Chain A
């Protein structure tokens, strides 16, 4: 492996900074919002997480690709057991050191081969620590990946478009009909592990598109609980979903939301959301449960947050981020509605808050 064997490419930021590196994966250009994640493992899960739709992802851990990429496996429910969705959602991967030779019993191909197969460009040899500092100081920035002698695409803000619409399913999908209690899952770009976690508790899941009016569908009128999934982009572009949630709240059945689901539930309750400077992306985010000494390490991936000060009186914070004090979850003071900003389903990340799925199902 010699550096001279690789094509050069560059990452350019909207502020004019240029980061040189070497190309891998697909030799294509890309554009989107540049974000960083501090997770040290889990690139197959992360890259297929629909919440990363529209983003150029910088991984702060420098050695990537070590254990290759597992084979695509679909389980009995039609869910991907090794990935979080059907495809890679990040638009480009930015790293420091790439393992072309991988080693793991479960691997089927290298990261380089996988990105190539999926048509996603990568850049390695980047000073990712510096890039992270720039994003930290300036906030997430638009960026573009340009191949040597290639044409530079114009910068584009993915948050201006409705990314949820792109990441959501297009029709109703039913899992394990008649298995038990029925949960309607509003898919804003759901990670497959969320569905797996719900199914593991023994419930039936009805997965509906983000803008589907489940309140009006007689076939799901008898649902026991509502789940609002994670998803990419700006919650302000999902007013349709917020309207449906607000309608559902009137029926008083249990509601559980994760990530985007937290923001949409908050909006339905009447609170506001805002864009964080550079978001939380990683496996080491500490949260504390309100009014307790209970703390958890959580997996997170979000650029927007709930403004706690705008919560109506009958709502209260459920979890708070110990690093920066931002909201990590809300709950209704009397009704069975709650949501969290972090990812209890992990995949990738720590499993500390997995119990929330059982908590939800026990309310049904």
Chain B
């Protein structure tokens, strides 16, 4: 059918806020759709941790930045006849539009499949969009495109405040915000123009409902709307920041079909072929609507819609791009009806964002028109109460549901309701508890009363439960009501046992009693047609709102359950999804039934194609036990989904759930700091000194022995501060007084902090304590930068052979002592001749996909085989055989985190990563660093280089820059230091020198950044004193806000400078992954 032979697909690159794992899902689906047609596929995506960059998904994979330069290089080499732009988020779309504009696509005869570029531009350019919508009489928000702050002021004056500003062509609402007056507008406009030369000024419709439609159109002009969704939070809160339900709940037939019909008219008029998202504002008091925006590509919402309905939007969109009609394609769920239909749901889904704002210093926790969340969950239920409470538990930030949480009441409840932050949903619970009426809460939040009434149902049931003292006194009707409203056994137990509540035994007691009363969850299928047609679907959820199971279980002991990784968040992201998917594939290949439990709609692991049964469910003890009682599994894999399943291991084991691989007691011995430490001591392995302390006096004693700096990990946190390195006693004092309580109940763990040490990752697989395969990689940065933020090189390039041998020997001892079967990771510190163990996890680590793909040894496949007792043979690849290098760089999303200090430390801050391969370190590093948004500078560089040692560290880089002809701007001390070393540099003023105005010829650092005179900023924090942090902070923040690449680590900056001064862009190798071969 297809006339295309070779098609290029653009991926979305590293995960960042506003553009996350959903594009791995959509890209993987599209590639599958193309492969099915016998079309050769080429993928460009530097995100090495994704499923789509794995072997067997695309025919050729280029781990390269998705930028016009690199894409053109690949086109030149591969000569594809088609290209797909709509499966890699805004990154791919922007790149594609640029390639079209510059004539590259025409030059090489590459046809854009699906929605034509013309239509994409019509949706992206606000003026063009407004014109197109006016042509068909569709109401939009009156929007003024302006190109200066002056013009923005004038437009706002005409429209009337409040207004919202948005940057055109920016992903996830970047640089957008509300302004109540001209002063606010001036600030906001400055930021918005940093992202785009065109900024839009619009009337704010705060308080309106926000509704989305997912529309599909084929080349025969046939249109369907696959899903509609309604935001729980009213307009004004970015849809990525909002709780969302599907389908719409508070709209009647007239509303639904008015918006549906309008969406179809829009999509037809624009000429979309494939998938498109239409967002509306909808008046809560009439049927007045405004189209907010149209996304002519797969989006986060379309991934959610796919998971919410079972309709594979990306797969279908890819087929439509090839010229199929919707009626010619099959419904993937029923397999007997066509893809031309609109799913009928018989459940409700609830999406809840996951924020990690506590991880950042100084960030504003308010949520609004710009996206800050790092992930999301989707919960399925047969009423809103059930779906919402499940979802709030899935978020994984300590909530047990809507009620029965240990939460401190906000100081000012009214403002907590009026000005939403990441915990507003719990402020509503507090308000109900404080006796607020639904009307009052609605007035403050503008959340539709329907949702609030449902929340009150939950609240009331909680109160009713609290009237009882023993679960055996609970009337069955009440217990059933609570379970149908999504109460967990934990919540019920807490309501009943109150102050005397003891989590583990009490929730077990409720569970046993409940089961004895016959109150158990039922398993239901997601079948796209509300049971109208028989469907052999394996896409499942559990509910208490039903009396029958949809599934007849085989009970043959052939099920192997894989526990997934939950919501994407800082520290746990797409890499664990790759691990989960790989484990499932291995399990199925070995003849077992692969069963997945996960609830993240942005993942491939929650694609029902990937496993034999998918439970879109909670990863709580209660729910995993429920599923195990249905499946009676042969075993459960807890070591590929990151920390969530790892933390469940011991409790699952206690409830007699068979754990595959390393035993639960051994996992506990690695997780428990005391137990692990004594094992390490007994094996005669060195580790940094540490102690668990309960008083300041003990703390001082310990520090006297080991000296500063020390790393402190509080076990109980008052203000949200996490791990911290203290360099002297004054810093320790202020940290302890501000953030951490030290007491008998709340001990802190303090360890010596070793400076200027190498940090080394040892990723490995063992079988019954014997290592089967391992990979040693090194950090570019010195220890002290969290391993999730560090730049990682594999194979390690600069480690002594003797050290390598030591590492391997130590890992072997630990594997033996802990009887490891499966994946594990050890982090080491190394300096000169010593090697110390700092951490050991008996599970797959973040770097498993990276080392697996670079080394071409699939370590998860091997680990899974070991766990299934297939006793795979050891695989050994000598590091000397690698004729290439892999580099993994971290992606930061500081730009979205208003006011956050973009400095790296012991706590992780990155939201994603890119991994690239190169002929040598420089080649790989340049690709990886550009992939995370730091292109080689084409103009001056601003440097402020920290303390003396760091200045010395940077000297070589500065020399190279100068030799290469770069103009260097430097702050006072750095400039002096460079002059002393005969490196020319222009002095730039620190922010606190500005008022002194030493010499009118000197530019201020901030000016240089704001005017984008400098193309790269290297700012190394000198120390942690208040003024330095203030001064440096302003520079760092300006770099982030004005989108100038920022380096805060001397080692990484040096490596990068060396790389681009040593080789030019033309020298960068353009090779597919399989062209990097081992020299054996």
Q: Which residues of A contact B (CB under 8 A)?
A: 1-4, 19-20, 36, 38-42, 44-45, 60-63, 66-67, 70, 96-97, 99, 101-106, 127-130, 132-133, 136, 282-286, 288, 293-295, 297, 322-324, 346-352
Contact = CB atoms under 8 A, between A and B. Distances in A.
A38 B547 contact: no
A38 B530 contact: yes
Given A67-B251, A103-B449, A60 B531 contact: yes
- Chain B CB count within 10 A is highest, among A283, A323, A351, for A323
Contact of A99 (B453, B478, B550): B453
A57 B546 CA distance: 18
A295 B383 contact: no
Contacts of B326: 295
Contact of B338 (A61, A62, A293, A322): A322
B435 to A, nearest CB: 18
Given A3-B478, A38-B530, A41-B251, A96 B545 contact: yes
Nearest to A65: B450
Given A1-B460, A4-B475, A61-B344, A45 B253 contact: yes
B337 A322 contact: yes
Contact of B253 (A2, A347, A352): A347
A60 B346 contact: yes
B382 A96 contact: yes
Given A67-B252, A96-B382, A293-B327, A349 B257 contact: yes
A63 B384 contact: yes
Given A3-B480, A97-B382, A351-B257, A297 B252 contact: no
A43 to B, nearest CB: 8
Nearest to A22: B477
- Chain A CB count within 10 A is highest, among B256, B286, B533, for B256
B504 interface: no
A236 B743 CA distance: 85
A41 B345 CA distance: 11
- Chain B CB count within 10 A is highest, among A62, A70, A96, A324, for A62
Interface in B200-236: 220-222, 224
A349 B253 contact: yes
B531 A136 contact: yes
A305 to B, nearest CB: 15
Nearest to A130: B548
Contacts of B481: 2-3
6 contacts: A4-B475, A42-B252, A62-B348, A105-B286, A282-B532, A348-B257
- Ranked nearest first, the 7 interchain pairs of A and B with the lowest CB-CB distance are A101-B453, A42-B253, A103-B450, A38-B344, A60-B530, A348-B253, A293-B220
A101 B141 CA distance: 32
Contacts of B284: 105
A297 B453 contact: no
Contacts of A127: 522, 545-548
Contact of B545 (A97, A102, A105, A283): A97
A63 B260 contact: no
Nearest to B383: A97
Contact of A41 (B253, B325, B348, B383): B253
A323 B529 CA distance: 11
B125 interface: no
Given A101-B453, A132-B532, A288-B340, 8 more contacts: A2-B460, A60-B344, A101-B450, A105-B286, A129-B546, A133-B531, A136-B533, A286-B337
B469 to A, nearest CB: 18
A105 B285 contact: yes
Given A62-B382, A322-B340, A104 B548 contact: no
B346 A41 contact: no
Contacts of B346: 38, 60-62, 128-129, 132
A39 B284 CA distance: 23
A131 to B, nearest CB: 9
- Chain B CB count within 10 A is highest, among A128, A294, A297, for A297
Contact of B341 (A3, A42, A60, A297): A297
B448 interface: yes
B1062 interface: no
Contacts of A294: 220-222
Contacts of B545: 62, 96-97, 127
- Chain A CB count within 10 A is highest, among B346, B382, B454, for B346
Contacts, number: 175
B631 interface: no
B524 interface: yes
A284 B345 CA distance: 11
A40 B247 contact: yes
B666 interface: no
B464 interface: yes
Nearest to B220: A293
A312 B28 CA distance: 50
A295 B340 contact: yes
B209 to A, nearest CB: 11
B222 A102 contact: no
A297 B222 CA distance: 9
B342 A283 contact: yes
A284 B343 contact: yes
A11 to B, nearest CB: 12
A38 B264 CA distance: 21
Contacts of B337: 286, 322-324
A41 B344 CA distance: 10
Nearest to A296: B222
Nearest to A351: B261
Nearest to B534: A136
Nearest to A137: B534
Interface string B42-61: 00000000000000000000
Contacts of A352: 264
B405 interface: no
Nearest to A293: B220
Contacts of B449: 101, 103
- Chain B CB count within 10 A is highest, among A45, A101, A103, A352, for A103
B372 to A, nearest CB: 29
Contacts of A67: 250-252, 450
B635 to A, nearest CB: 31
Interface string B338-381: 10111111111000000000000000000000000000000000
B342 A297 contact: yes
Contacts of A104: 250, 252
A38 B529 contact: yes
A112 B950 CA distance: 73
Contacts of B453: 99, 101, 103
A311 to B, nearest CB: 22
B729 interface: no
B560 to A, nearest CB: 28
- Chain B CB count within 10 A is highest, among A1, A129, A323, for A129
A63 B524 CA distance: 16
Contacts of B529: 38, 284
B438 to A, nearest CB: 8
A129 B449 CA distance: 28
Given A96-B383, A294-B222, A132 B252 contact: no
B449 to A, nearest CB: 4
Nearest to B481: A3
A107 to B, nearest CB: 8
A283 B344 contact: yes
Nearest to B385: A97
Nearest to B449: A103
B249 interface: yes
Given A129-B346, A130-B548, A347-B253, A2 B532 contact: no
Nearest to B522: A127
Contacts of A70: 252
Contacts of B478: 2-4
B233 to A, nearest CB: 15
A8 to B, nearest CB: 10
Nearest to B224: A297
Contacts of A351: 257, 260-261
Nearest to B457: A1
